[in-house]
Amino acid sequence: MNNNRFSVPSAELEKQTEYKEKVKTVLSSRFSLSFPKAFVHTYGCQGNVADSERIKGLLTEMGYEMTENLDEADLILYNTCAIREHAQDRVFGNVGALKKIKKDKPGLIIALCGCMMQQRYVADKIKESYRFVDLVFGTHVLYKLPEFIYRCLCTGERVFDITNSDGNIVEGLPVKRDGSFKAWVPIMYGCNNFCSYCIVPYVRGRERSRGFSVIVDEVKELVKKGYKEITLLGQNVNSYNKDLANEYRFPALLRAIDNIEGDFIIRFMTSHPRDCTKELLDTMADCKKVAKHLHLPVQSGNDRVLFEMNRHYDRKKYLSLIDYAYSLMPNLSITSDIIVGFPGETYEEFADTLSLVEYVNYTSLFTFIFSSRPGTKAAEMDDFVSREEKGKWFSELTGLQEKIAAKRTASMKGKTYRVLVEGKGRYDGYLSGRTEGNIIIEFPGAEDLIGSFCNVRVTEPKTWILIGEKAD
Ligand code: 5AD
Ligand code: SF4
């Protein structure tokens, strides 16, 4: 249970606390009439969202007030994503647009962090070609933000720190959560899987798990504060504490959290089929508070492609997990990630993905066309199929999933679901919530229901969302 080998030395953390105070002093002398404002924007996955909540926590303790308005910001920070080329292009475009804002406001600090910055070629490009960017830091040094800001404020130098490490765990950072009833709780960081297409293991370091009791205590605290949905996060939650005794692994963690008193729902993502066990599915079925929703990315339905992807499971193993899961939880909602057009994939192999999708009867899919990431193994593989052809395959897959989803939602008509109300719906007077299976449902209701559970009867199923009415 000891994660000390990943801990940052306490002297280093104390140093950062001192920097926090120094920044506060500098800012209060420069901003005597108003608070300095920080604009933080997050790209990519929930892991990044959770990191940004820590960044916002640190900035708040340094004296910044958060703003949604780019023009009034004294500090602009983008937490970036590297998962696909398109995600990176968007960031480059949006950073480019900051040049003018900086010209009009020379004291503005522009900062970039996250997975994209952890790649040396990106940091170098920012250094050379985006000279108005003041601060770039990678995923392993987030806790040094006070020191970085202090250097930007007091020396005027550009700060770059993309120190590479196997990764660390820093507990005790302040967290400024985006929501008041839904919370993200990271349980582990990094990834050891090295799927051949994926950049994550290179930019997030090796797998490391947070302490069991640290997580349970954090959830207890959140529930006490009134949080209604807790999502446990990790690239591969099934390998949480993989090297420790059974009593500290993921199923045990789920049971411990399920035992916390209070009315709340537990979600988790992402499960890797390689490490998904019957024990985990038994645990899901047993635990009352665990949502009956499983996000189990398959990526492809063809064994040769799965092998080339380095996924360490085959179609048969994946489908046996699905069969077992449905046998325990007939109404389970299953979602997945799929990559179309992996290098060397033929149409016949892609057709295996189509048949798998049909068999599994997914609720919804996150579908992606393969994007070559520099430094990964797949980036070196020959890729003969044109983008246009891949686009056709992609449409065939999304068209199939649309039919499956429509059938699934149609079967929900007239049934009543317990829903966590998340906010206003898209029509006037409507609210929006999510079923346990993670399907959006909209229904007429008063805004004071936001943040609470409500029973809603489905009146009109659409393909991807449901329309309903309050049932009690
Ligand atoms: N190209 C396309 N999709 C990718 N993903 C990860 N890397 C790539 C890539 N290089 C997808 C996978 C993963 C999801 C988070 O992003 O499907 O599960
Ligand atoms: Fe990437 Fe595979 Fe790790 Fe997921 S499990 S982050 S797809 S390497």
Atom of ligand 1 nearest to the CA of 299: 17
Q: Which tens digits make up the pLDDT trace of 176-217?
A: 999 999 999 999 999 999 999 999 999 999 999 999 999 999
The answer to whether the CB of 370 is under 6 A from ligand 1 is: yes
Instruction: Give the pLDDT band (50/70/90) at residue 8.
Output: confident
Q: 322 alpha carbon to ligand 1 midpoint, in Å?
A: 21
Instruction: Give the pLDDT band (50/70/90) at residue 6.
Output: confident
Percent of the chain with pLDDT over 90: 95
The answer to whether the CB of 46 is under 6 A from ligand 1 is: no
* Pairwise CA distance, residues 87 & 65, whole Å: 28
Mean residue pLDDT across the chain: 96
The answer to whether the CB of 373 is under 6 A from ligand 1 is: yes
Pocket test for ligand 2, best of 188, 193, 196, 202 (most atoms within 8 A of CB): 193
Residue 1 clears pLDDT 80, i.e. is over it: no
Atom of ligand 2 nearest to the CA of 191: 3
* Pairwise CA distance, residues 229 & 267, whole Å: 7
Residue 271 clears pLDDT 90, i.e. is over it: yes
- Closest CA relative to residue 423, chosen from 176, 224, 229: 229
Residue 123 clears pLDDT 90, i.e. is over it: yes
Residue 403 clears pLDDT 60, i.e. is over it: yes
Q: Which tens digits make up the pLDDT trace of 32-50?
A: 888 999 999 999 999 999 9
Pocket test for ligand 1, best of 84, 274, 366 (most atoms within 8 A of CB): 84
**Ligand 2: residues within 6 Å at CB?**
191, 193-195, 198, 200-201, 235-236, 272
pLDDT value of residue 181 = 98
pLDDT value of residue 3 = 56
Burial state string for 395-434 with b = 16 or more CB within 10 A and e = fewer than 16: ebbeebbeebbeebbeebeeeebebbbbeebeeeeebbbb
Domains and CATH numbers, the chain: 9-161 (3.40.50.12160), 182-410 (3.80.30.20), 416-470 (2.40.50.140)
Pocket test for ligand 1, best of 305, 337, 357, 381 (most atoms within 8 A of CB): 337
pLDDT value of residue 167 = 83
pLDDT value of residue 4 = 63
Atom of ligand 1 nearest to the CA of 366: 17
Instruction: Give the pLDDT band (50/70/90) at residue 2.
Output: very low
Q: 45: exposed, middle or buried (C-beta count within 10 Å: 0-12, 13-18, 19+)? A: middle
Residue 433 clears pLDDT 90, i.e. is over it: yes
Instruction: Give the pLDDT band (50/70/90) at residue 118.
Output: very high
Q: Which tens digits make up the pLDDT trace of 324-354?
A: 999 999 999 999 999 999 999 999 999 999 9
Pocket test for ligand 2, best of 48, 237, 272, 310 (most atoms within 8 A of CB): 272
Q: 373 alpha carbon to ligand 2 midpoint, in Å?
A: 13
